[in-house]
Amino acid sequence: MVAAAIAATVALPLVVVFASWRHPAVEVWSHLWRTQLLELLVNTLLLAGGVGAGTLALGAGLAWLVVAYEFPGRRLFEWALILPLAMPAYVIGFAFLALFDFAGPLQTALRRVGGAGVTLPELRSGGGVVAMMTLVFYPYVYVLARVAFREHGRAALEVARSLGHSPRRAFVTVILPLARPSLVAGTALAMMEALADFGTVSIFGYRTLTEAVYRVWTGMFDRVAATQVASVLVLLVFAVLALEGALRGRRRFTLGGRATPLPRVVLTGARAAWAAAACGAVLLLAFVLPVVELVVWARQAPAGQLAVRGFGGLVASTFLLAAASALLVATLALVLAYARRLRPSRTAGIAVQFSSMGYALPGAVIAVGVLGPVAWVDHALAALTHGVLGSPLGLVLTGSAAAVLFAYVVRFLAVGYQATEAALGRIPPSLDEAARSLGVTMRGALRRVHLPLMRGGILSALVLIWVETIKELPATLLLRPFGLKTLAIEVWERTSESLWAEAALPALAIVGVGLVPLLLGSRIDGGRH
């Protein structure tokens, strides 16, 4: 019951989005069809596919490397490889353009040495966008895969070894399939985030459905048509997830026994150097370079920027919102995932899946979807109080922190749910049955059996939602009360005016605030071993 109520409330903004189809914008659609729809679809699919493949390969590969092997710097890389997640995609995009563009320092130097004809491949292309997003979204896969590899690792490896498999074969034939739910969850998150992205595709001039959403909205002043275009994104993601579900079928991916850490294979010589170099290269591109560029910009900013009024307040409110969002979303996700485990029905599964689709929608669309029901409640309340008390109530929810948090739930439930469900799925149902047969209640089983086993998964969920919230812009911007401002808004106010030097400091602060749970998480997590 509780779960159903949560799912229904969270699905409300999505229903609003689909309700835009009451008046199909035939004219806009036929215009799009005649001019660009095919290109938009192809570009969107290429983007999602490219980011999906890229993040899966990079995330799973790096996770396996740090879980199964020992090499110089491994302990540092293990947590540092999560860092790129704290980097908003459009910030890394802009930093790369600044560094590698025609007018950037590298190409300028190349021309000086090699003559006017020397150029690098154009970053403003499909490949460039995929590369940018892969670099900052792979940690979704990495975080979830690492937990899965670690928890399954040893038992799986022993099984495989006993069958006479080499470690590499064991990875491919046993461990990868076992980690499938986690890999799928991470990849799905990365793809949804790529689909919903507007900032990066806009800077790179790459036309996707999401870019078209804004084009129709602001260029044709037609928000209804724009919302309809956005709803196509939800259908795309729904189709992909349904396909995966069908392929996965009824197979379950659990393993008995207590999770024991994998004995690491110690790499030496060239192989150790390669492993360290691979981790180092990713970290350099996805984190170090953009941070250095931000520092360079920050130093160019007019003096006195460091003493921006209320900078501490900005950090504090960002921090507070992120903490509240992480705890709220993770709790709701856990309730939903557990309810689904207790009563596995197809309808419930689809309902929950649908309610978490907000993640695939451009943030501004979902923010307006939240605004509708929230304002409706306010107006209804006002009418009610006017009738009963004689004086109407003002706006209670619209422009309140509650509305902002509601929007976070709608946007990030997918993140919490995917991470939690993957963790829950690794616990064999036989444990539930054993607990029940010992007379433990449902809630007791959750507390005493599942939660301790899900520790890694829940921690990942908290970290991911935390970082997402810090980077969140459109919903916070639209629904916030007066006086509430986050670092992301501060960055946006400046970058929307092309003032990148002035935006660099708050952007660095975003990375800093994002680091907190990453460090904390790795600490708590590390303490277990």
Partner 1 sequence: MMLLLLLATLAGVAGLPATAAADEVVIYSARHYGQEPAFEAFTKATGIQIKMLNGDAGQIFERLKAEGDKTPADLLLTVDAGNLWNAARAGLLAPVSSAELARNIPAHLRDPEDRWFGLTLRARTIVYNPKKVTPAELSTYEALGDPKWKSRLCLRTSSYIYNQSMLATFIRRHGEPRTEEIVRGWVANQPTLINGDTKILESIAAGQCDVGLTNSYYLARILKKEPGAPLALFWANQQTTGTHVNVSGAGVTAHAKNRANAVKLLEFLSGLPAQQMFADTSLEFPANPRAEVNAIVKAWGPFKQDELNVAAAGEFQAAATRLADRVGYK
Write out the residues near partner 1 by the rule CB under 8 A: 31, 35-36, 97, 101-103, 108, 116, 124, 202-205, 207, 211, 214-215, 217-223, 317, 320-321, 323-324, 327-328, 330-331, 364, 367-368, 371-372, 374-375, 378-379, 382, 394-395, 398-402, 405, 474, 477-484, 489, 493-494, 496-499
Choose between 387 and 482: whose C-beta lies nearer to partner 1: 482
Choose between 303 and 482: whose C-beta lies nearer to partner 1: 482
DSSP per residue, 151-180: HHHHHHHHHHHHTT--HHHHIIIIIHHHTH
Give the 3-state secondary structure of residue 166.
Answer: coil
CB of 399 to partner 1, least distance (A): 7
Choose between 103 and 307: whose C-beta lies nearer to partner 1: 103
- Amino acid identity, position 429: P
Choose between 351 and 487: whose C-beta lies nearer to partner 1: 487
Report how far residue 372's alpha carbon sits from residue 16's, in angstroms, rounded to the nearest whole number: 8
Q: Where are the alpha helices (DSSP H) in 343-400?
A: 346-355, 363-389
CB of 300 to partner 1, least distance (A): 9
Of 410, 286, 282, the closest CA to residue 358 belongs to 410
CB of 61 to partner 1, least distance (A): 33
The H-or-E segment that residue 266 falls in is strand 265-266
Report how far residue 291's alpha carbon sits from residue 170's, in angstroms, rounded to the nearest whole number: 38
Choose between 76 and 499: whose C-beta lies nearer to partner 1: 499
Q: What is the Cβ-side half-sphere exposure of residue 511, based on CA atoms within 13 angstroms?
A: 23
CB of 328 to partner 1, least distance (A): 6
The H-or-E segment that residue 307 falls in is none
Of 82, 51, 50, 86, the closest CA to residue 509 belongs to 86
Q: Distance of CA 519 to CAs 75, 81, 325, 327, 513, Å? A: 13, 12, 18, 17, 10
Q: Which residue has the tokens 């749970």?
A: 517
CB of 186 to partner 1, least distance (A): 23
CB of 326 to partner 1, least distance (A): 9
CB of 62 to partner 1, least distance (A): 29
Choose between 166 and 498: whose C-beta lies nearer to partner 1: 498
Of 52, 351, 42, 60, the closest CA to residue 193 belongs to 52
Choose between 248 and 447: whose C-beta lies nearer to partner 1: 447
